[in-house]
Amino acid sequence: MRTFGIEEEYLLVDGETGVPLPVGPEIGRAIPAGSPLSTEFKQEQIESGTQVHRVLEDLAADVVACRSTADRAAAAAGARAVALATSPLACLPTLTKDERFSRMEQQFVQIAREQLTCGCHVHVGVDSDAEGVAVLDRIRVWLPLLGALSANSPFWNGTDTGFASYRSQVWSRWPLAGPYPVFGSAENYHRLVADLLETQVPMDHGQIYFDARLSRRHPTVEVRIADVCLYADDAVLVAALVRALVETAAREWRRGMHAGKVPETLLRMAAWRAGRFGMDGELVDPLGATVADTFTVAKSLLEYVRPVLEEQGEATLVESLLRQVLARGTGARRQRAVLARTGSLAEVVADSVRISNLAVAPITERHES
């Protein structure tokens, strides 16, 4: 099985008021060698990264451990770490002192100043850039569904935005964020990236913010479309689906199957619907470019990757995780339900702290067939 891992970004908040706190640098100074934690663009957030895994259950345990580590580190700085993709409460975020981050603020001004979002990035191992680009060409139509499955950002600066993932809208303001074209080859991919860098709009390779890309640091495809998930289970589900998509796409490439040339504009519409409704509305079905209910679109993806999931012994667990999301909803639904019940955005954050840092039994024990 292919290796995979997850990077998650968390908000750092006051445990009582729910307001984001700029304690990232304080946490960063205390991070020991070998820790999964690192500081991020804004002082009100922190990032964790799992180890590289092959077994899904091991990844699941690592995700929970990383969240616990982040929350303990936050507590030592008088805060809590919470898996929310945007802050429900108003916040004027503070730039982390870093030469690259300072250049980003100078280049992108208000976009950079207002940026405070938390995502989930899934890395899956590939054998070469050629295989990686072939994978990128074939998974692009499914990425909006992953955005919908992870939707966890309905609030922005104290307001219900009407979106399930408002992070997707905030993030789309960056010049290269979002869907990407069919590349056709690794040479075409690298040529396009070089041309983009020549415009001097993106500062470096790190700002190639496609929904999925080749990683510059690891021999992986990096899928970046997801919100950080409120529930650890949902992060594991997204990672499992991404790995199955990568393997399925690589097999299609090796068999000489061509990538579908769905226009970027259509994918942008699919991503917009995913951000607007999450799993509580209709989505664009990539198999027919028509609007369909979320169950139908999710089932289409599950059937597409089922052969790989069955070979890996993950089909039952992944289907159980997917049905769980369809039944209880995403983090966006949970946040809105808490607000409706309590009338307090501070309670929304407090509830999210509990849910995102929930100590749970091994995933296989909770999702037996």
Other CB atoms within 10 A of residue 319 CB: 18
Q: 87-146 pLDDT, tens per residue?
A: 999 999 999 999 999 999 999 999 999 999 999 999 999 999 999 999 999 999 999 999
Q: Note whether residue 130 is domain-resident.
A: yes
Q: 36-50 pLDDT, tens per residue?
A: 999 999 999 999 999
Q: Note whether residue 77 is domain-resident.
A: no
Residue 258 lies in domain: 98-359
Q: Note whether residue 171 is domain-resident.
A: yes
Nearest to 87 by CA among 25, 150, 27, 158: 158
Q: Note whether residue 58 is domain-resident.
A: no
Query: Residue 289: its pLDDT value, please?
Result: 76
Find all residues with CB under 8 Å of 21, minimum gap 6, and list them.
Answer: 12, 13, 14, 44, 77, 78, 79
Number of domains in the chain: 1
Q: Residue 289: which region, alpha, beta or left (left: phi > 0; alpha: psi -120 to 50)?
A: left
Paired strand residues for 6: 122
Query: Residue 198: its pLDDT value, please?
Result: 96
* CA–CA separation, 338 and 26 (whole Å): 31
Q: Note whether residue 288 is domain-resident.
A: yes
Q: Note whether residue 33 is domain-resident.
A: no
Burial of 192 (0-12, 13-18, 19+ CB in 10 A): middle
Q: Note whether residue 299 is domain-resident.
A: yes
Average pLDDT over residues 71-85: 97
CATH number of the domain within which 319 lies: 3.30.590.20
Query: Residue 338: its pLDDT value, please?
Result: 98
Q: Note whether residue 70 is domain-resident.
A: no
Nearest to 163 by CA among 10, 274, 22: 274
Q: 206-240 pLDDT, tens per residue?
A: 999 999 999 999 999 999 999 999 999 999 999 99
Query: Residue 136: its pLDDT value, please?
Result: 98
Query: Residue 234: its pLDDT value, please?
Result: 97
